[in-house]
Structure 1
Amino acid sequence: MNILIGLLSLVIGAFISFYVFNKKLLNSREENIQLKATLEEKEKSFVEKSKFVDQLKSQVNHDFKALASDILKNDRDKLKIDNSDLLTPLQTQLKGFRDRIETITKEQIEERTSLKEQIKSLHEANRETQQSAQNLTNALTYDNKLQGDWGEEILSSLLSSYGFQEGIEFDLQKQYKSETGEKFKPDVILHLPEGKDVVIDSKVSLKDYVDYVADQTNEEALKKHIASIDNQIKNISIKEYENLEGVRSLDFIFVFIPIEGALLLALQHKHSLFDDALKKNIMLVSPSMLSMSLKTVNFMWQTDKQNKNADEIARQAGKMYDKLAGFFSDLDKIESQLDKTKEGFSDARKKLQTGPGNLIGRAEKLKALGVKSNKDISE
């Protein structure tokens, strides 16, 4: 029984489901028919719109081509007119530019010609300058007197550059006598503080040095240059400048070589040259080496002046203290005298007015006795 009821329920459910499904299917078919009709209408409308767009594009292309043709025609005509307006000023400018180029070219040719003349003159002046320089070199090389004057001038300029004054800190070519009465003229006597002196000699021949510089294969000139310095060392040592009257020389003498390279060349090829000179109490110096010594001497003078100033300040301070002490002593004396004067004044006042038997008291008594007077002492 239960099975029969279950089967019946199943059949009824299946029938109901079929009915509902069939109903939906019919509805779907109707909707599909409607959608198909709508789609056909839209397709037809799209085709019509596409035809319209194609016609519109064709018309636009036609109109654009016509318009472009008109514009090109108008621009072509206008361009002819504009080109005429533009080319005329341009041609004028080109003509002016061409004229300017021709003018500049002409000026450049004239300037080049003038420059050639100036260069020619410059070459001539340079040749004359070189000749003058060569003449000066020859004079300095072969004229011993002129060479000596030149070395002394360099030495004097170097001394002046450090603030040394001729006649004060140094003397040039001043004549001195030796102990034997022989006369000497050292090139420079450089004075030091405390009365010391430095003798500087600059009489060194540079002829062979110049010859060697001109031809560095000239070994003979090099040997002569070194020998020239050696000879000068010997000559200076013989003169005994340290024994000159009025000169308190240090234990060594400077031999000044005015060209830096001349001394360096000699020292490079004869290493013992410097020591050989020192053994004779002679120091070889170039401008740079002498400058270091002059700096030291300048410092010594400054220190000496400062010390002298300090001594003078101390001396003046001592005098001022003595004056101040004397002033206080005088004040004490004045005070003592004032005290004595005050005592004398007090004694006189007592005799006149306040002391027993004072003069004013007696005068008043006389007045009381009938002495006539026009004034009153109390007034």
Structure 2
Amino acid sequence: MEPISLIVGVVVGVALGAGVVHLTKPKQNTASDERTDAGVTLLQTELQDAKKELKGERSRLDEAQQALATLEERERGLQEKFADQKALLEEMQTKLHESFDAASRKALQDNNKVFNEQAEERMKPLREQLTKQEKLVQDLAKERTEQFGKIGELMKTVLDSNTALQNETRQLENALKRPDQRGRWGEVQLQRIVEMAGMTEHCDFSTQTHTETESGAHRPDMVVHLPGGGSIAVDSKVPLSSYLDAMENEEQREELLDRHVKAVQDRWRELAKKAYWDSLDHSPEIVVMFIPVESALTAAMERKPAMHAEALENKVLIATPTLLIGLLRTAAYGWRQEALADNAKKIADLGKELHDRIGTFVGHLGKVGKELKSATDAYNKSVSSLDSRLLVTSRKLSELGVSEGEHSTPDQVSVAPSLPSGGEIAD
């Protein structure tokens, strides 16, 4: 229901109710009647106003309904026009498709023969190329088959080598579990490393050196000789059995690695107590503890990172092959520099000796030159005397017929010996 109609209904109902009450209620005093009449009059006035507004609203409603009817009519017209245009478009599209299909079929029929000829002409080089490619692919497939056969043989060789390597590794692991074999293996690794560093045994290093000190006898695995007469002891008897067992036993690995850490720590403490430097001449107060397996030291350092620093504080340097090679190459470089210095000194001594000998030789040569000059002067004087005194008499004897022939005068020597003209050379 519209709001205006509802308001009008309420007003009319109130007015009718007031009238009924007025008719049924007994008459009261005059003042009360007058108020009632005034209320009725007011309600009637409001009713008239409401009727006017209702009339206006109805008029606007009629206009709106007419406008709606006009719009609906226009919409129906547009829908009909759209339907006509759609039908026309569909008809034109159908005709266009039919025309295009007909034209396409005709053009295809006309050009099919020419197209086939041109396609055949253009495809001929491609067919030849494909034939060559097919032959090449067959050759490659054949070659690949042969290569696969060779690869198979190579893989078999690799597998056999791997099996042999595994067996050797297993044998090495078993050997390393024995203390005597493990120590020997460490010594062999140490020997290889010093050779890789370019050092020469008995000159740059010594093995199994036996020394005596107040604390007892010592025999380090190696003594590295330093330039200047110094030396450093190297020990390779590091226990690795717990580490090797840990690599094979997954369940007890943590416990075995803890044992490995303790074994390494006990070993460097033992070396610190031995004080190898006391039994070596001009040795720095440090000993090298060689661990031939890099991963063994890594495993120990992961569990006790401060181990390296603690060992250094106790004059023990824990060295793996990488670090030891660096140290040994430094020592070898020092030896080469010392050898160069020795050679330079020897060259200087030889130069001085050569200089002295040249001076002596120059002195002797000068004396020989002087003697040659004296001999030349004496010879020339003898020739002059021969010519002026003896040959004159000889010629007279020839003239007297005592003898036949004449003695000719020898030529004098006019070239004097050259004396050394260089700077003076000290004797």
TM range (shorter): 0.5 to 0.7
1:222 lines up with 2:257 in the alignment: yes
Q: Distance in 1 between matches of 2:350 and 2:301?
A: 54
| Equivalence for 1:93 | none
* Number of aligned positions between the proteins: 251
Counterpart of 1:157 (choices 157, 179, 192) is: 192
Q: Distance in 2 between matches of 1:271 and 1:312?
A: 50
Q: Distance in 2 between matches of 1:159 and 1:133?
A: 24
| Equivalence for 1:166 | 201
For 2:257, the aligned partner's letter is L
Q: Are the aligned partners of 1:152 and 1:187 in contact in 2 as well (CA < 8 Å)?
A: yes
| Equivalence for 1:374 | 404
Structure 1 residue 139: Cα displacement: 3.3
Q: Distance in 2 between matches of 1:136 and 1:371?
A: 117
1:231-288 deviations in Å (ceiling 9; x for gaps)? 111221222222326x543332110011111112222222321122112221100111
1:178 lines up with 2:234 in the alignment: no
Counterpart of 2:175 (choices 131, 139, 148) is: 139
Q: Are the aligned partners of 1:171 and 1:189 in contact in 2 as well (CA < 8 Å)?
A: yes
1:316 lines up with 2:346 in the alignment: no
Structure 1 residue 341: Cα displacement: 1.0
Distance 1:222 1:281, change over 3 A: same
Instruction: For 1:202-217, list aligned pairs within 5 A.
Output: 202-213=236-247, 214-215=249-250
| Equivalence for 2:224 | 190
Q: Are the aligned partners of 2:398 and 2:404 in contact in 1 as well (CA < 8 Å)?
A: no
| Equivalence for 1:253 | 287
Structure 1 residue 308: Cα displacement: 2.4
Distance 1:129 1:288, change over 3 A: closer
Structure 1 residue 366: Cα displacement: 5.3
Identical positions, percent: 26
Q: Distance in 2 between matches of 1:332 and 1:181?
A: 70
Distance 1:346 1:278, change over 3 A: same
| Equivalence for 1:359 | 390
Structure 1 residue 343: Cα displacement: 1.9
Q: Distance in 2 between matches of 1:181 and 1:220?
A: 35
Secondary structure of 1:249's aligned partner: coil
Q: Are the aligned partners of 1:353 and 1:359 in contact in 2 as well (CA < 8 Å)?
A: yes
1:236 lines up with 2:263 in the alignment: no
| Equivalence for 1:63 | none
Counterpart of 1:347 (choices 381, 399, 403) is: 381
| Equivalence for 1:307 | 341
Q: Distance in 1 between matches of 2:215 and 2:384?
A: 90
Q: Are the aligned partners of 2:196 and 2:325 in contact in 1 as well (CA < 8 Å)?
A: no
Q: Distance in 1 between matches of 2:361 and 2:387?
A: 38
Q: Distance in 1 between matches of 2:200 and 2:364?
A: 48
| Equivalence for 1:287 | 321
Structure 1 residue 202: Cα displacement: 0.6
| Equivalence for 2:421 | none
Distance 1:302 1:130, change over 3 A: closer
Q: Are the aligned partners of 1:209 and 1:221 in contact in 2 as well (CA < 8 Å)?
A: yes
Q: Are the aligned partners of 1:178 and 1:243 in contact in 2 as well (CA < 8 Å)?
A: no
Distance 1:134 1:331, change over 3 A: closer
Distance 1:332 1:235, change over 3 A: same
* 4+ long deviations beyond 6 Å: none
Give the TM-score taking structure 2 as reference length. 0.52
After the TM superposition, which of the residue ranges 177-186 and 270-279 deviates more from structure 2? 177-186
Distance 1:183 1:366, change over 3 A: same
For 2:285, the aligned partner's letter is D
Distance 1:367 1:134, change over 3 A: closer
Secondary structure of 1:375's aligned partner: coil
Instruction: For 1:46-125, list aligned pairs within 5 A.
Output: none
Secondary structure of 1:258's aligned partner: coil
Give 5+ residue unaligned stretches, structure 1. Answer: 1-114
Q: Distance in 1 between matches of 2:386 and 2:172?
A: 107
Distance 1:328 1:303, change over 3 A: same
Distance 1:341 1:136, change over 3 A: closer
| Equivalence for 2:101 | none
Distance 1:331 1:132, change over 3 A: closer
For 1:292, the aligned partner's letter is G
Secondary structure of 1:284's aligned partner: strand
Q: Are the aligned partners of 1:255 and 1:282 in contact in 2 as well (CA < 8 Å)?
A: yes
Structure 1 residue 134: Cα displacement: 4.2
Q: Distance in 1 between matches of 2:306 and 2:392?
A: 115
Structure 1 residue 205: Cα displacement: 0.4
After the TM superposition, which of the residue ranges 154-163 and 319-328 deviates more from structure 2? 319-328
Structure 1 residue 203: Cα displacement: 0.6
